[in-house]
Amino acid sequence: MQRFFRWLVGAGALPPAPIEAADGNELERPWLRRWELLPKRSAGADFTSDDYTHARARAVEVARTTLGESLWAELERHGYLEVHSRRFPGVLYRLRVGRRIEVRCAPGTRNPWPMPFLCINPEYPLPEVEFFAQLYLYCRDREDLIVRVAAPQPWDQALGRTF
């Protein structure tokens, strides 16, 4: 009914119809919202400390599913994962949870970027371990997008859009 009245009074495009997730709650589809004004390392003013705790716990499940047991064990063992560049021979990306990507070069290999760290954030807030697993997929399967969006930085730092 609310959608109909919005349409009737010319209040812009109808908002997308809600979808129910398997947990019985409305599915949050973050790609439909704008997040630019959110403070750094925040999930929004409506988020409680319990929400952060639960989100981080649930994120571990998904990150583990995304990476598979072998990579997950490697992450736990070393504290990072590495992906060899397919585009730049001798270059590898070292990823740590919640941090910028470190670009490491074999001896004699020139860094294709002017600085050793690449700052890449999700466009909407995510728990950092969950985004870590997604960033791993980007580095391994869609390096072209990493190259296109990466912001080279001189030092490491926590990412601003994860928490």
Partner 1 sequence: MGRIIVANRRGHQVVEWDAETDTAEARAGVEEAERILAEARAGGCLISKKVGDQHVIDTEPFDKTVKEYQIIAPIAGG
Looking at this protein, which amino acid is placed at residue 4? Answer: F
Pairing of the two strands 151-153 and 101-105: unpaired
Does residue 138 belong to the site contacting partner 1 (CB under 8 A)? yes
Does residue 122 belong to the site contacting partner 1 (CB under 8 A)? yes
Does residue 156 belong to the site contacting partner 1 (CB under 8 A)? no
Separation between Cα atoms, residue 109 and residue 8, nearest integer Å: 63
Lay out the sheet containing 81-84: strands in order across: 81-84, 91-95, 101-105
Both tokens assigned to 104: 């490491």
Among 59, 75, 83, 95, binds partner 1 (CB under 8 A): 59
105 contacts 37 by C-beta, under 8 angstroms: no
Among 1, 4, 12, 25, binds partner 1 (CB under 8 A): 25
Interaction residues for partner 1, span 27-56 (CB under 8 A): 27-32, 43-44, 47, 51, 54-56
| CB nearer partner 1, residue 42 or residue 109 | 42
Does residue 126 belong to the site contacting partner 1 (CB under 8 A)? yes
